[in-house]
Structure 1
Amino acid sequence: MDLEDLRSFAMVVRHGGFSAAERVTGDARGKLSKRVAKLERDLGARLLERSTRSVRVTDVGLEVYRQCEIIEEGLAATRAVAQRSREDVSGLLRIACPPGLSRFLGAEGLASFLTRYPQVRVDMHLTSRRVDIIGEGYDIALRVELEKETDLSLTMRQLGRGQRILVAAPRFLADLAAPVAIDMLAQMPTLSVGEHAEQHRWELVDDEGAQRRILHHPRLCSNDSSIVRDAALEGLGVALLHERACRQDIAAGRLERVLPQWHTTAAVLHMVFATRLGMSAALRAFIDHYADQPFFTLEAPPLATR
């Protein structure tokens, strides 16, 4: 059965005929008649007795009408539930986030978001894996990637752009016998964000657009960029980190940029979620909150370099 057929039948009964229903609904009398006739065929029962002057509801039609009222009440209740979910900023948000990005969410956005919306609970899963948002039941995922999301079933909201840069502790650089050159990186102690430490690949570009691929065996490898950053601060090697992850350390002199003309291609930081249609108020508030936060930028302050 078509809900619209049931609605048309209920309007005819409620207002005492096709003409009255036409005036109330704006639907043409002929259209209403066709919908009621279709409903009668679907049910295999006569619902209305028609004459040139009047319409009479059959006993079966009266019972069907009562069920239509129950259905309408249920639909109204369903709409009310959905409306409340759109307006009430509360409930659980399941978020997938790369480990290295989580410290910025907590320090610069997550705490203020939870303070602003005390009825919202957050379940944040830290993973470098590209999660299946719909299949695994996440509300939203944060990703830093070179390319935009290609899954047409998902929606993307860009937060910012940024690049990764080479950094090292001043004491590590001071102990080197010669200034760092691009051809030396593969033989130097390196610290890398990722997995599978046997061999890593850094894809670098310089300010003129030249490209270099550095194949190296990192001394330390972790999918948590905070661990790699801490190792760089301890003077364990050269690390390739997001500019924002080490900006304060560079400004304070705890880290220095290495080969500042070399860096990665700019990547996009974005939020990915299933759809805007029927989005919960909590998820909409989370997206809007982070859209106002300053994240990655291609601009870097003047820094000491080697």
Structure 2
Amino acid sequence: MNQITDLNDLRIFVEVVERGSFTAAAHALGSQTSKLSRRVRALEEELGVRLLNRTSRSLSLTEIGRRFHQHCLALVAESKAAKDIVDQTRSKPQGTIRISCPVGLLSSGITPMIAQYIQDNPEVQVLIDATNRRVDVVEEGLDFAIRVRLPPLESTDLAVRQLGLSSQILVASPNLAARHPAPTALQSLEAWPTLAMANSGERFVWNLVGAEGNATSWTHQPRLASDDLASLRIAAMNGIGVALLPRELVDADIRSGQLVHLLPGLATEPGLVHAIFASRRGMVPAVRHLLDALVAGFEKLNSKW
């Protein structure tokens, strides 16, 4: 016996048996009686057995038809349950979301946004791959990856959604600031100890932009270099040196007085924080609503400055 490929035939068979006639089943399914009769006859031919005893006035199951019907009922119930799971996932946020995000971005405000989203949506689980490597969204089975790049964004076959802007500012501890004259330009930090993001070339340059759009840069030799923004923040708070850190990472520290904002007229050119994903088609509510929450979170952050 060949494998049955069209499960709709099983559903039709169940419907005919449950309704007691081809006419009633056709009415329930919105189809034609003759079409249903042909489908059941084709099913019997495929199986090589007779499932129904037909007369002009009645319809009854054969013995093999009765046993076959019991299994068909289970299959139809399972298919309905499978569809219900999809329908529920499409109707409200639930299920597992897999994302990738650079470590620095997580420290710079994204983690609280995701935590709030999870709190608001208790049926959602978020799995985060915190990594600075470039990930392959499709190959690694991710719902989306978060990146930050200076504009314009590189062209890609993937879908892109902008989440917000992120710029970096100069900060230092109040104790360190008290030991030096207030800086008036980037170059006046010459006598200050500095911190920096680690890089393979070991050449450390701060490239900043003024309020009028004028660019300035300064090469320095940091006392501490690390690729972990959280470590640089702690070092800055402990007076080890001046750090160039994301504004959203140190905003609360500046407000509480644990850090001082130096040269407030200067900042890095804003980077575009964006999510990349395979396609907008078929995106489940949990993923779409998380992206909406991230956009709203960045709007709230960016509105402070």
TM (norm. structure 1) is: 0.65
1:14: which partner in 2? 18
Contact 1:160 1:268 in 2 (8 A): yes
- CA separation of 1:133/1:298 partners in 2, compared to 1, >3 Å: closer, same or farther? same
Contact 2:169 2:261 in 1 (8 A): no
Q: CA deviation at 1:213?
A: 7.2
- CA separation of 1:83/1:246 partners in 2, compared to 1, >3 Å: closer, same or farther? same
Is structure 2 residue 296 aligned with structure 1 residue 296?
A: no
1:28: which partner in 2? 32
- CA separation of 1:205/1:73 partners in 2, compared to 1, >3 Å: closer, same or farther? same
2:226: which partner in 1? 222
Contact 2:108 2:248 in 1 (8 A): no
Q: What CA deviation, in whole Å up to 9, does each residue of 1:235-275 have, x standing for no partner?
A: 54443221112223444373233372442233225596998
Contact 1:148 1:268 in 2 (8 A): no
Unaligned runs of 5+ residues in structure 1 are 301-306
Is structure 2 residue 257 aligned with structure 1 residue 265?
A: no
- CA separation of 1:37/1:264 partners in 2, compared to 1, >3 Å: closer, same or farther? farther
1:256: which partner in 2? 261
Could you tell me the percent identity over the aligned residues?
A: 34
2:131: which partner in 1? 127
2:68: which partner in 1? 64
Segment drifting more, 256-265 vs 193-202: 193-202
Is structure 2 residue 164 aligned with structure 1 residue 164?
A: no
What SS does the corresponding residue of 1:296 show, helix, strand or coil? helix
Map 1:1-306 onto structure 2 (within 5 A): 1-40=5-44, 42-45=46-49, 47=51, 60-79=64-83, 96-103=100-107, 108-109=112-113, 125-132=129-136, 142-146=146-150, 147=153, 150=156, 152=158, 159-169=163-173, 171=176, 175=180, 179-181=184-186, 190-193=194-197, 195-196=199-200, 198-199=202-203, 204-209=208-213, 218-251=222-255, 252=257, 254-258=259-263, 260-268=265-273, 270=275, 279=284, 293=297, 295-297=300-302, 300=305
Q: What is the CA–CA distance in structure 2 between the aligned matches of 1:78 and 1:188, rounded to whole Å?
A: 64
1:303: which partner in 2? none
- CA separation of 1:145/1:238 partners in 2, compared to 1, >3 Å: closer, same or farther? same
Q: CA deviation at 1:79?
A: 4.7
TM (norm. structure 2) is: 0.65
What SS does the corresponding residue of 2:301 show, helix, strand or coil? coil
Residues paired across the two proteins, number: 296
Unaligned runs of 5+ residues in structure 2 are none
Q: What is the CA–CA distance in structure 1 between the aligned matches of 2:84 and 2:155, rounded to whole Å?
A: 34
Q: CA RMSD in A?
A: 5.0
Contact 2:237 2:258 in 1 (8 A): no
Q: CA deviation at 1:26?
A: 0.5
Contact 1:203 1:214 in 2 (8 A): yes
Contact 2:198 2:226 in 1 (8 A): yes
Segment drifting more, 111-120 vs 198-207: 111-120
1:304: which partner in 2? none
Q: CA deviation at 1:23?
A: 1.1
Q: CA deviation at 1:132?
A: 4.9
